Chain A
């Protein structure tokens, strides 16, 4: 007759083999981190790093007192920034809707050719930040608001397209079936079976993207695409930190207001 093995007095959550695996994983991560750290800081000038607290105090001191007289001059660029975000969102949404219908499995006309193309458009637009789009567009169509609007629009396609095509794929099949059973054609099914179901999601996504776009459009001016970022860039280049502080406060205020508006609107819609 066999007796049971001796039990350990201390409770352990995992088997020794599993523990060893987890420890190896952590050691590998630490080694990778150290290696990356050394590669990254190869060319770092540590004198600048140790000097940072003094620099920070210096910048902080120069921000005070705030240059409030600069505020009226900022209203024009702020209006431009809001226009970039709003018109960019509208343009992006208009381009994203057909892409979303091509990318959704249940509405795409051809799953083998058009769907991968639509998915690639979505991924490409999502992986390139709006600031990079703006950098390109400023080089191509020249500095100004138009470059900012197009940059915001191109960046929004991926975001709106992805969320919208997921909403289309989650629509209730029975409603579509019912509309089709009345003898409706393809466009009628779209308009009476699918569109009503995704309408709240569509408006919610658009308003959410508008909110993000307000945030992103405040900095597009750094690369010359118009708006309040232009003023920010000018003030940074002339090292007038008191003006920079006013601009940052204004940007912060705008972002908070747009977030509040978007939260209100989305609650009203959904």
Chain B
């Protein structure tokens, strides 16, 4: 006499084992969605009217017009690219001392706290919000954008550099120190060779990010291709806007592949 086995098999739940909790979470999500969608105020007539405009935009994207606004586009691109390079260079130069200061294994405690708070402030504020303030202080144009991106670079690069320095091999530091090296010689001969490849890689990555951001901060008046794009959309010139977007995508792709190739080559 054989026992009867079930002929079908149900996959056991994967994340939340308790059935009651699972149902409660599902119910809560459904409730939230109902409330959230309920408070959406969508003007469907406006959306329907806009779809025709969307079609025109799609057409503009497929037949981009590089020529008629080329003067504005090239000026915006030059501003964006120069802003990207200068801000990355200055940002890296500033973030190296901040990063060294924020590494707990080679910096004294007071400097560590100062540097970590600089990093925290720079990371908590978004580029666009910093850009609003800097435009209000320094006036319109790429100089405000340059300052914004430099400041944002500090938060990104100094944090990763500091985390990297904290994870270096202590044996090499010990060895250099035991030869009677001073603090500067210790940093130069034992820390720097260990973190340099990664620092170069991160700088190239940040160059890539800074270009993307430079396309955005123009919307609040900090110069660059974003300002040109904003103008093109305000004028309903979708073919020029399409051209600008295609240029942005192309440059980002080139920067991404270029920087990943360079990083592989350097490491």
Contacts and interface: CB of A to CB of B under 8 A. Distances in A.
Interface of A: 29, 32-33, 36-37, 39-41, 43-45, 48-49, 52, 55-56, 59, 79-80, 83, 86-87, 123-124, 126-129, 131-132, 135-136, 139-142, 144-146, 192, 196, 199-200, 203, 215, 218-219, 222-223, 236, 248, 251-252, 255-256, 269
B252 to A, nearest CB: 4
Contacts of B46: 141-142, 144
B143 A199 contact: no
B104 interface: no
Nearest to B146: A40
Contacts of A79: 39
Contact of A40 (B14, B57, B142, B212): B142
B233 A40 contact: no
Given A32-B85, A44-B143, A139-B53, A145 B14 contact: no
B53 A140 contact: yes
Interface of A is mostly: helix
A269 B82 contact: no
Given A37-B82, A269-B15, A135 B39 contact: no
A238 B229 CA distance: 25
B226 interface: yes
Contacts of B47: 141-142, 146
Interface residues of B, number: 61
A124 to B, nearest CB: 6
B57 A43 contact: no
A82 to B, nearest CB: 8
A255 B249 contact: no
24 contacts: A36-B85, A37-B82, A44-B142, A45-B141, A49-B138, A55-B136, A80-B39, A83-B39, A83-B40, A127-B253, A128-B245, A129-B215, A139-B57, A141-B50, A142-B46, A144-B46, A192-B11, A196-B14, A218-B126, A222-B220, A248-B129, A252-B124, A252-B125, A256-B124
Interface string B173-203: 0000000000000000000000000000000
Contacts of A215: 126
Nearest to B42: A146
A149 to B, nearest CB: 8
